Amino acid sequence: MRSRLNKNDGRGRTASDPSETSMAPRPPGHPLWFAVLGSVVAAVPLVPSQRPLAENITEYFKSRARSSRDRLATERRPKPTLQMPFVFMHQRKAGGSSMRSVLVHAAQQNNLTYWVPCYNKIGCENYDPPVDGTAKKFAVFGGHMYWSGVEKALGTARGKRPHLDSNVPFECYTSFREPLGRVASCWDYRGFRAFAGDNISAITPAKFREYLAEGMNSYDEGCNNEPLRLLSDSGRAEEKVNKLTSGTGGEPWCDADGWALDAAATLERTLAHLTEHCVVGVLERCEDTKASVEFFFPWLAASFDCGVHLNKYSGSAHSDLTRSEEAEIKHQNRLEYMAYDVANRLLDAQLEVVAAARRPAGQHNFVA
């Protein structure tokens, strides 16, 4: 039998091209398989390490912090409108419940229509604005919403005919919390320690690693990587988001470090949405957050109260974690730590913009 390897077929391809070996099995993420003399041989997959890619992406978006804040400052408005609504992306266990009450109070004070789960007869288990076209009736949105769901709801409300660009304008705000505290709070809130029954010490490091990566609550939600869950385009892929850096290195879907093959790409989409569209707050920096909120969203100024905002989160949610458990949380949420790093740089840049605007020569120039 004559080998067809490297034999040109007259169309510029050889038998070693992937298009000529479609019968060979190709596991996800491992495209470099080819046929040799009727047998299947696996080439060493050229899988890029995700960690350095993610680190480079993080540094890139940190470098864009000031320019993006300057642009958002020129686009700010006295209050949201039906054409340019305000959207609060509520990250779980990051101080968002008190922020929802702030939104509702401010909306009522400013005669703004609002869609906020748990308020105004809207069920608490709603994770996307309505996609039946009625989203156009609201100027304020807030909740555990997914970026793609927000875009779809607002796009459906405005797109009456086929169109090419699905992007719709809206103001965005989200608040971060130090990931160890946020994940530990989520872990306790969702009762995941019940996996071990009454004997908490029965959770071995190996079991804790498994529960953190695989554990889901009654709504099939995990605790890892919350900002990537809401702000990327992959939020609905719950198991994927929850296990972006939790592999062992031997799975076909991850690199040698145990990072998912699309971990860096998921981080990139998260940080692109965050940096280009959202004003950020940080729970541990409430006074800085308050100054930013009052400047970028003046309609919220009279309602935002750090005393109320912080009281619910004054205790340490991870005081009973072992060092091994803390290390595992940090490992499985490495991407959330990168997003948290960018969020703090964005908050720093927001304060720089606020300080510049408060100088005698500065003026508050709102968009008409």
For residue 175, give the nearest of 91, 232, 263, 273 by alpha carbon.
91
Average pLDDT over residues 20-37: 38
In this prediction, residue 236 has a pLDDT band, given cuts at 50, 70 and 90, of confident
Q: Among the residues of the chain, which ranges form H helices?
A: 50-63, 65-75, 96-109, 147-158, 179-189, 205-214, 226-231, 238-242, 263-277, 286-296, 306-311, 323-332, 334-357
Exposed/middle/buried for residue 358 (C-beta within 10 Å: 0-12, 13-18, 19+):
exposed
Q: Which domains does the chain have, with CATH numbers?
A: 1-46 (no CATH), 50-357 (3.40.50)
* Token code pair at residue 210: 């498994």
Is it the case that residue 185 has pLDDT exceeding 50?
Answer: yes
pLDDT tens, 132-167?
889 999 999 999 999 999 999 998 877 666 656 666
For the chain, give the percent of residues with pLDDT over 70: 76
Q: How far apart are CA 313 and CA 308, in angstroms?
A: 10
Q: Which of 38-42, 107-111, 240-244, 355-359 has the lowest mean pLDDT?
A: 38-42
For residue 251, give the nearest of 50, 15, 5, 73 by alpha carbon.
50
* Token code pair at residue 255: 């690199």
Residue 347 backbone phi and psi in degrees, to 5: -65, -40
pTM: 0.82
Tell how far CA 165 is from the center of its chain. 22
Q: How far apart are CA 170 and CA 86, in angstroms?
A: 6
Yes or no: say if 132 and 110 are a contact pair by the CB < 8 Å rule.
no
Q: Which of 122-136, 195-209, 266-280 has the lowest mean pLDDT?
A: 195-209
pLDDT of amino acid 327: 95
pLDDT tens, 57-112?
999 999 999 999 999 999 999 999 999 999 999 999 898 888 999 999 999 999 99
Sheet with 114-115, strands from edge to edge, namely 114-115, 140-143, 86-89, 171-176, 278-282
pLDDT of amino acid 197: 58
For the chain, give the percent of residues with pLDDT over 90: 55
